[in-house]
Amino acid sequence: MKTQDEGHMRRAIELARAQHGRTGQNPSVGCVIVGPDGRRISEGATADGGRPHAEEMALGPLQGRGAKGAIAYVTLEPCRERTNGESACSKRLIEAGVSRVVIAVMDKHPKGSGGKAAIEAAGISVETGLCEAEAAALYEDFFASLA
Protein backbone atom coordinates (compact mmCIF):
# COMPACT_ATOMS: atom_id res chain seq x y z
CA MET A 1 0.00 0.00 0.00
CA LYS A 2 2.79 2.44 0.89
CA THR A 3 4.44 2.04 -2.54
CA GLN A 4 1.09 2.66 -4.26
CA ASP A 5 0.49 5.71 -2.06
CA GLU A 6 3.88 7.12 -3.03
CA GLY A 7 3.22 6.54 -6.72
CA HIS A 8 -0.10 8.36 -6.57
CA MET A 9 1.39 11.24 -4.58
CA ARG A 10 4.31 11.53 -7.00
CA ARG A 11 1.79 11.83 -9.83
CA ALA A 12 0.03 14.62 -7.89
CA ILE A 13 3.40 16.36 -7.50
CA GLU A 14 4.02 16.04 -11.27
CA LEU A 15 0.66 17.70 -11.93
CA ALA A 16 1.45 20.54 -9.51
CA ARG A 17 4.93 21.00 -10.98
CA ALA A 18 3.48 21.32 -14.49
CA GLN A 19 1.35 24.28 -13.33
CA HIS A 20 4.02 25.89 -11.14
CA GLY A 21 4.32 29.59 -12.01
CA ARG A 22 0.96 29.64 -13.85
CA THR A 23 -1.43 29.97 -10.90
CA GLY A 24 -1.12 33.65 -10.01
CA GLN A 25 -1.00 34.28 -6.27
CA ASN A 26 -2.38 30.81 -5.51
CA PRO A 27 -0.06 27.85 -5.04
CA SER A 28 0.07 25.15 -7.70
CA VAL A 29 -1.53 22.04 -6.23
CA GLY A 30 -1.94 18.56 -7.68
CA CYS A 31 -4.73 16.13 -6.81
CA VAL A 32 -5.14 12.48 -7.78
CA ILE A 33 -8.34 10.56 -7.01
CA VAL A 34 -8.01 6.79 -6.70
CA GLY A 35 -11.05 4.53 -6.64
CA PRO A 36 -11.69 1.79 -4.09
CA ASP A 37 -10.15 -0.70 -6.55
CA GLY A 38 -6.81 1.15 -6.46
CA ARG A 39 -7.03 2.62 -9.97
CA ARG A 40 -6.76 6.34 -10.70
CA ILE A 41 -10.18 7.64 -11.65
CA SER A 42 -9.38 11.34 -11.98
CA GLU A 43 -6.71 13.95 -11.48
CA GLY A 44 -6.27 17.69 -11.68
CA ALA A 45 -4.06 20.64 -10.89
CA THR A 46 -4.73 24.24 -9.97
CA ALA A 47 -5.81 25.97 -13.18
CA ASP A 48 -4.10 28.91 -14.85
CA GLY A 49 -4.63 32.03 -12.74
CA GLY A 50 -5.26 29.98 -9.58
CA ARG A 51 -8.85 28.80 -10.09
CA PRO A 52 -10.39 26.30 -10.07
CA HIS A 53 -8.37 24.58 -7.37
CA ALA A 54 -6.86 21.13 -7.96
CA GLU A 55 -9.45 19.21 -5.93
CA GLU A 56 -12.26 20.91 -7.85
CA MET A 57 -10.57 20.04 -11.15
CA ALA A 58 -10.16 16.39 -10.12
CA LEU A 59 -13.66 15.97 -8.67
CA GLY A 60 -15.45 17.76 -11.53
CA PRO A 61 -15.40 14.88 -14.05
CA LEU A 62 -16.64 12.48 -11.37
CA GLN A 63 -20.02 14.24 -11.19
CA GLY A 64 -20.04 14.73 -7.43
CA ARG A 65 -20.66 11.30 -5.92
CA GLY A 66 -18.35 9.42 -8.32
CA ALA A 67 -15.61 9.66 -5.71
CA LYS A 68 -17.52 7.76 -3.01
CA GLY A 69 -15.07 5.54 -1.13
CA ALA A 70 -12.10 6.92 -3.08
CA ILE A 71 -8.75 8.19 -1.82
CA ALA A 72 -7.60 11.72 -2.62
CA TYR A 73 -3.87 12.45 -2.85
CA VAL A 74 -3.24 16.18 -2.55
CA THR A 75 0.10 17.99 -2.58
CA LEU A 76 -1.11 20.78 -0.25
CA GLU A 77 -3.69 20.63 2.54
CA PRO A 78 -7.17 21.15 1.05
CA CYS A 79 -8.41 24.64 1.89
CA ARG A 80 -10.73 25.19 4.84
CA GLU A 81 -12.18 28.35 3.34
CA ARG A 82 -12.05 30.13 -0.04
CA THR A 83 -11.29 33.83 -0.44
CA ASN A 84 -14.01 34.10 -3.11
CA GLY A 85 -16.77 32.46 -1.05
CA GLU A 86 -17.00 29.25 -3.14
CA SER A 87 -17.07 25.84 -1.46
CA ALA A 88 -13.76 24.99 0.16
CA CYS A 89 -11.83 22.02 -1.19
CA SER A 90 -12.09 20.25 2.17
CA LYS A 91 -15.89 20.54 1.95
CA ARG A 92 -15.88 19.32 -1.67
CA LEU A 93 -13.92 16.21 -0.69
CA ILE A 94 -16.27 15.52 2.22
CA GLU A 95 -19.36 15.94 0.03
CA ALA A 96 -17.83 13.69 -2.64
CA GLY A 97 -17.67 10.87 -0.09
CA VAL A 98 -13.95 10.12 -0.17
CA SER A 99 -12.84 7.62 2.45
CA ARG A 100 -9.28 8.87 2.91
CA VAL A 101 -7.17 11.94 2.14
CA VAL A 102 -3.38 11.86 1.88
CA ILE A 103 -1.65 15.26 2.10
CA ALA A 104 2.01 15.97 1.31
CA VAL A 105 2.37 19.48 2.82
CA MET A 106 0.26 21.27 5.42
CA ASP A 107 -0.94 24.76 4.40
CA LYS A 108 0.24 27.84 6.30
CA HIS A 109 -2.26 30.22 4.67
CA PRO A 110 -4.87 31.40 7.23
CA LYS A 111 -7.79 30.35 5.00
CA GLY A 112 -6.13 27.17 3.81
CA SER A 113 -5.04 25.71 7.10
CA GLY A 114 -7.74 23.83 8.96
CA GLY A 115 -8.90 21.78 5.99
CA LYS A 116 -7.39 18.65 7.51
CA ALA A 117 -9.30 19.20 10.74
CA ALA A 118 -12.56 19.73 8.84
CA ILE A 119 -12.05 16.49 6.92
CA GLU A 120 -11.22 14.56 10.10
CA ALA A 121 -14.27 16.05 11.85
CA ALA A 122 -16.37 14.49 9.08
CA GLY A 123 -14.97 11.08 10.04
CA ILE A 124 -12.58 10.75 7.10
CA SER A 125 -9.09 9.34 7.61
CA VAL A 126 -6.30 11.84 6.88
CA GLU A 127 -2.59 11.14 6.57
CA THR A 128 0.05 13.84 6.20
CA GLY A 129 3.68 14.10 5.20
CA LEU A 130 3.83 11.60 2.32
CA CYS A 131 6.53 12.84 -0.12
CA GLU A 132 6.62 16.07 1.90
CA ALA A 133 10.23 16.96 1.10
CA GLU A 134 9.58 16.49 -2.61
CA ALA A 135 6.43 18.63 -2.61
CA ALA A 136 7.64 21.32 -0.17
CA ALA A 137 9.81 23.06 -2.77
CA LEU A 138 6.65 23.95 -4.70
CA TYR A 139 5.36 26.03 -1.78
CA GLU A 140 8.46 27.86 -0.50
CA ASP A 141 7.67 31.09 -2.40
CA PHE A 142 3.95 30.90 -1.53
CA PHE A 143 4.65 30.50 2.19
CA ALA A 144 7.31 33.25 2.08
CA SER A 145 4.71 35.63 0.60
CA LEU A 146 2.49 35.10 3.66
CA ALA A 147 5.10 36.51 6.05
Going by their DSSP bridges, the two strands 100-105 and 30-34 should be labelled as unpaired
Asked whether residue 143 is domain-assigned, the answer is no
Q: What are phi and psi of 12, to 5 degrees?
A: -60, -40
Residue-wise pLDDT for 111-145, tens only, equals 889 999 999 999 999 999 999 999 999 999 999 99
User: Among this protein's residues, is 55 annotated catalytic?
Assistant: yes
Name the residue range of residue 105's domain: 2-138
Domain of 85, CATH number, reads: 3.40.140.10
Q: pLDDT tens-digit profile of 2-30?
A: 789 999 999 999 999 999 999 999 999 99
Residue 111 lies in a domain: yes
Distance separating alpha carbons of residues 55 and 72, to the nearest angstrom:
8
* Chain segment 15-70, per-residue pLDDT in tens: 999 999 999 999 999 999 999 999 999 999 999 999 999 999 999 999 756 899 99
Q: Is residue 146 part of a domain?
A: no
Per-residue pLDDT at 147: 77
Confidence tier at 75 by pLDDT (50, 70, 90) = very high
Marked catalytic residue, from 6, 43, 55, 86:
55
Q: How many domains does the chain have?
A: 1
Contacts of 134 (CB under 8 A, 6+ apart): 10, 13, 104
Percent of the chain with pLDDT over 90: 87
State how far Cα 49 lies from the chain centre.
17
User: Does residue 76 fall inside a structural domain?
Assistant: yes
In a domain, 121, yes or no: yes
Per the domain annotation, does 114 fall within a domain?
yes
- Report the pLDDT value the prediction gives residue 1, as an integer from 0 to 100: 58
Say how far apart CA 32 and CA 29 lie, in whole Å: 10
The sign of the dihedral angle between the CA atoms of 51, 81, 56, 40 is positive
